[in-house]
Structure 1
Amino acid sequence: MDLTEHYHQLYKKSTEAISKGNYKLDSQINNTADSRFGITLLIRPSEKVKSNIQLFLNELKAIEPEQYYYPDSDIHITIMSIISCYEGFTLDEINIQEYIDIIQQSLVVLDKIKIEFKGITASPSAVMVQGFPTDESLNDFREKLRENFKKSTLQQSIDNRYSIATAHSTVSRFQEKLQNPEKLIEVMEEFRDYNFGEFTVENLELVYNDWYQREENTIHLAEFMI
């Protein structure tokens, strides 16, 4: 996949939708009864990158204070949604160690992952920071995970919704009617090619999480040093 073109097309279609009022609101963010949970293997960006992301979010907050903004603790890159969030899923349904073992086996193909966060894109319901792996390490690792999990009999939903190929971070979601969509797009344009920084991934996290990866609802299952 050409990530640059993918992000560009997503941004173009989404900003057109936003400007026409065809954006989508997330009605579940403040629903305390939301029971959608799953298991995710993820990366946390460096502190420097997260600091730069918060500078961008502060600009958005000044225009659209009523939207949902991710705190540092929740910002992440999804490597693989192993069990996509669904209503009622709990950890007692699986043997966590079996999942850890498959991830450990898959790590044999992984050297180092470097990711450059540059520019922003959007969907009709969210704003994302664009991530660009500097080589094929992340893609190779994802393919090995797919291969090993599909050979197993474990509960998993890898690629059921879509085949993940990006390295973006969702940083804001629309939860209320936009007050000033034109100004919002202006700020997004200012950060369209902004360099948020590059970092080398030092560890991966396996977590039990809600739909929004909120820290207070996350259970840390394992850490993998690379």
Structure 2
Amino acid sequence: MNLTEHYNQLYTTSSESIAAGNYSIDKEIKNESDSRFGITLLIRPNEEIKAKMQDFLNEIKKTEPEQYYYPDSDIHITVMSIISCSETFRLNQISPNDYIQLICKSMVDVDKITIQFKGITASSSALMIQGFPTDETLNNFRNKLRENFKSSGLQQSIDSRYTIATAHATVMRFQEKLHNPKKLIETAEIFRDYDFGEFSVKNLELVYNDWYQRKNNTKVLGEFCLR
């Protein structure tokens, strides 16, 4: 996948729709009884990059203060959604150690993952920071995870919703009617090509998480250090 083309197409389509008032509100964010949980392997950006992301969000908040903004603790890149969030899944259904061992096996050839965050994109219900792996290491690792999990017999739902190929970080979701959709897009446009920075991934986390990766609902099952 050409990530630049993918992000550009997503932004063009979504930003035009949002500015015209055609967007989706996520009604589950405020639902305290939301019981969707799953298992995710993820990467967290470093503190310097997260600070720049918050600078962007602070500008958006001036126009849309009532929307849902990700705190530093929740910002992440999904490496692989191993078990997609659902109301029927709970942690006691699996043995986390089996998953940890399989991930370790899949990481044998993973040396260094570097990701550049540059620019923003959008969907019909969210704003995202664009992430670009600097080489094929992340993509190759994902393929190895797919191969190993699908032949393992372990419970998994990899690629059941969509085949993950990006390295974006969702940072804002629409939870209320927008005050000024056109102004929101005008502000976002300022950051369309903004350089949020580049970082080398130090470790990955396997987590049991809710739909929004909220820290209070997240349990770290394992951490994996890169060389």
| SS of the residue 1:52 aligns to | helix
AA matched with 1:3? L
| SS of the residue 1:9 aligns to | helix
1:205–1:221 CA contact under 8 A, matched in 2? yes
Q: 2 CA distance for matches of 1:22 and 1:157? A: 31
Q: 1 CA distance for matches of 2:97 and 2:128? A: 32
Instruction: Quote how far apart the aligned CAs of 1:5 are.
Output: 0.3
Q: 1 CA distance for matches of 2:34 and 2:89? A: 11
Instruction: Quote how far apart the aligned CAs of 1:78 are.
Output: 0.1
Tell me the residue number matched to 1:46.
46
AA matched with 2:164? I
TM-score normalised by the chain length of structure 1: 0.99
Q: 2 CA distance for matches of 1:197 and 1:109? A: 26
Tell me the residue number matched to 2:21.
21
Q: 2 CA distance for matches of 1:209 and 1:22? A: 30
Structure 2 unaligned spans of 5+: none
Q: Which runs of 4+ in 1 moved over 4 A?
A: none
Tell me the residue number matched to 2:169.
169
May I ask how many residue pairs the two structures share in their alignment?
Answer: 226
1:88-138 Cα shifts (integer Å, max 9, x gaps): 311100011110011000001211000000000000000000000000000
AA matched with 2:65? P
| SS of the residue 1:100 aligns to | helix
Q: 2 CA distance for matches of 1:99 and 1:17? A: 40
Matched, 1:109 2:102: no
Q: How does 1:1-226 map to 2 (within 5 A)?
A: 1-226=1-226
Q: 2 CA distance for matches of 1:93 and 1:108? A: 27
Bigger shift: 84-93 or 62-71? 84-93
1:41–1:78 CA contact under 8 A, matched in 2? yes
Q: 1 CA distance for matches of 2:203 and 2:29? A: 28
Instruction: Quote how far apart the aligned CAs of 1:24 are.
Output: 0.2
1:179-212 Cα shifts (integer Å, max 9, x gaps): 0111101111100000000000000000000000
1:68–1:172 CA contact under 8 A, matched in 2? yes
1:117–1:197 CA contact under 8 A, matched in 2? yes
Q: 1 CA distance for matches of 2:172 and 2:185? A: 13
| SS of the residue 1:166 aligns to | coil
Q: Percent identity?
A: 69
Q: 2 CA distance for matches of 1:29 and 1:156? A: 25
